[in-house]
Every structure is written in C-alpha cells, then in structure tokens.
C-alpha cells in the first residue's frame, strides 16, 4: 500500500482531479444555465391533465383562483418529490411519488414544537382560537317512541293519551307506553351534535328548547314520534384555559409543525426554476388564470 502512494502516476491523477474540480467551482455559470435536476418544466400535457382531472371530479372548469391553486399544488408536489429523492427516500420503497413528498414533509415536522410552549405563547394561542374550544350544549333526557308505521292513523291519539298519563303520573314505566326502539330510551350528557346524529337536526333543535323536568311533545324524528323529558341541560360555554390546556398544547404543536413545513418548503422551492409551457390558445375559462406562478424569492 505504501508503495502505491509513492507512484508518480497516482500523484498526477490526484493533482489533475483537484485542478478539474477547482476549475469547475471557479468557472462562472451563466444565469440561464440551470442544472436539469433543478429545472421543473410544466408541460402543456401536464396542464391539460390537471384541467381534465379537475373537470371530471367537479363537473365544471376551475375558476382562476382554483386553477392557480392546482398549478401551485403540482409544483409543490414536484419540488417535494425531488427533495425526497435527493435524500434517498425512494430506496427500497415502492410507494408512489405523493407518498415521497409526504415523507419529506414529515421529516420537517420534527423541526418545530420540539420544546413546550411558554405560558404566554399558550395563552396567546388559546385567545386567538378560543371559539375552537367551545363546550357544546349537553342534554340528559328520556323519551318514549311511537312508531307511525306500526300504529297507523291511531298514532296521534296514542301519543296524546300517553302524554296525559305521564303528566298525571299514572304510568309505571314510561317506555312501556311506546314502541320498542333501537337506541336507548335514556341518554345522558349527550352533545347536541350527538343527538342530531342519532335523531336528526329537527329533533335536536326541538329538544334543546324543552323545559327541563316535565314531559313534552310530540317531537318528530326520522324514526317517528317521541315524548321527551329533559332531566338536565348544560348550556354551551367558552371554557377557561386550564380546562382544555392539554388540547391547546397539542393544537399549538400542530400549528408549529405546519409553520415549519411551510418555511422549509419555501426554502427548497426557491432553489428550483419552474417553467410552465402554456398552450398557444388557452381554454376560455383559463384565459385569465394561466399566468406562470412566481418562484419564491
């Protein structure tokens, strides 16, 4: 091995390689000379594919703003895809290019929210997004169900007779006055959204206005008719930070990760030249929308 390093030919080759590399570094590059790996060409075929895909999905041409967003999204995907390839994320991986772009974004997420927020940062974030943490109205109620398909024209009479017995206190078991029901006859601390999912919006809106402590109705749902007694109603309210601090911390961390992703993308996006080849005659709906997006500074 020592003998090899003494060979003049090896010295000559090493010196030549160094001189070649130095020349390449010092040689000025013309502004228009951009390495092919850093040149993104959006062809007319790419644009037509974007337009057709949009039109097939939404059954209409994109607006100017939507078209600009489609082109920018395509550029974003290409930039992130190439950055992912540069990091070797495609090796031994059969996932499609969109997944590679997502991988690159996942890598940047750890750059943010690596530290817990200060009390001031958390309080500020909470105040800016406080409505997000509104506690929904919650209801605890019982109901008696009447199936109109089963009872036919007599359903209205049966509902009124059952209501009279409930108000008079002569019914032993309220549920026995009605028909079998798939869901529970007693529900506790359900949000109005949950009630809406189970019974429908009209029913949920009506139950919210029921005076607690007494049987009322009939109230219609998608199933039929109901007599309802609200036992407890907790009105919607805005909580204090202490009540939802864990959730606020998670949301703050998510926001920091999204910001980090955008900052990293802006930096790598600026390293690419983007060329969009516009067709000679653009579709009418895109005539004002096919402007070339500006590269990030």
Asked if residue 230 and residue 248 are part of one domain, the reply reads no
Tell me how many domains the chain contains. 2
Domain boundary among 188, 205, 234: 234
Asked if residue 98 and residue 60 are part of one domain, the reply reads yes
Distance, CA of 143 to CA of 216 (rounded, Å):
9
Asked if residue 264 and residue 123 are part of one domain, the reply reads yes
Asked if residue 105 and residue 230 are part of one domain, the reply reads no
Domain boundary among 234, 254, 283: 234
Q: Is residue 160 part of a domain?
A: yes
Q: How many angstroms from the chain centroid is the CA of residue 281?
A: 36
Q: In DSSP terms, which residues pair with 40 in a beta bridge?
A: 274
Which pTM value belongs to this model?
0.49
Q: Is residue 3 part of a domain?
A: no
Q: Is the pLDDT of residue 74 over 60?
A: yes
Asked if residue 124 and residue 47 are part of one domain, the reply reads yes
Tokens of 215: 């049987």
What residues make up the domain containing 287? Answer: 35-134+244-297
Asked if residue 177 and residue 142 are part of one domain, the reply reads yes
Q: In DSSP terms, which residues pair with 145 in a beta bridge?
A: 226
Helices assigned H by DSSP within 117-236: 119-128, 148-151, 155-168, 192-199, 201-208
Q: Is residue 22 part of a domain?
A: no
Residues 6 or more apart whose CB falls under 8 angstroms from that of 294 comprise none
Domain boundary among 215, 234, 253: 234
Asked if residue 229 and residue 148 are part of one domain, the reply reads yes
pLDDT in tens, 23-50: 443 344 444 444 566 888 888 888 998 8
**For all residues of the chain together, what is the average pLDDT?**
79
pLDDT in tens, 83-99: 887 887 767 665 556 77
Q: Is residue 116 part of a domain?
A: yes
Asked if residue 94 and residue 64 are part of one domain, the reply reads yes
């Amino acid at each position: 091995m020592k003998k090899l390093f003494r060979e003049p030919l090896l010295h000559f080759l090493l010196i030549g390689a160094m001189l070649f590399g130095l020349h390449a570094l010092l040689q000025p590059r013309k502004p228009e000379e951009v390495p092919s790996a850093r040149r993104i060409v959006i062809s007319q075929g790419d644009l037509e594919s974007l337009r057709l895909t949009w039109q097939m999905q939404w059954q209409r041409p994109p607006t100017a703003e939507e078209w600009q967003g489609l082109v920018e999204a395509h550029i974003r995907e290409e930039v992130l895809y190439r950055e992912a390839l540069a990091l070797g994320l495609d090796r031994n991986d059969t996932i499609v290019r969109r997944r590679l772009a997502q991988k690159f974004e996942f890598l940047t997420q750890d750059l943010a929210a690596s530290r817990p927020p200060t009390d001031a940062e958390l309080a500020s974030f909470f105040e800016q997004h406080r409505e997000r943490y509104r506690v929904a109205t919650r209801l605890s109620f019982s109901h008696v169900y009447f199936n109109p398909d089963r009872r036919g024209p007599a359903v209205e009479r049966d509902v009124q007779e059952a209501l009279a017995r409930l108000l008079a206190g002569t019914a032993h078991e309220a549920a026995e006055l009605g028909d079998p029901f798939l869901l529970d006859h007693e529900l506790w601390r359900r949000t109005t959204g949950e009630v809406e999912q189970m019974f429908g919006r009209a029913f949920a809106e009506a139950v919210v206005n029921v005076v607690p402590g007494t049987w009322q109705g009939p109230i219609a749902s998608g199933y039929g008719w109901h007599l309802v007694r609200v036992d407890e109603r907790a009105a919607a309210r805005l909580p204090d930070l202490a009540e939802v601090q864990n959730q606020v911390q998670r949301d703050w961390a998510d926001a920091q990760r999204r910001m980090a992703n955008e900052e990293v993308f802006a930096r790598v996006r600026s390293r690419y030249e983007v060329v969009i080849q516009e067709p000679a005659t653009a579709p009418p709906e895109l005539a004002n929308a096919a402007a070339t997006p500006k590269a990030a500074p």
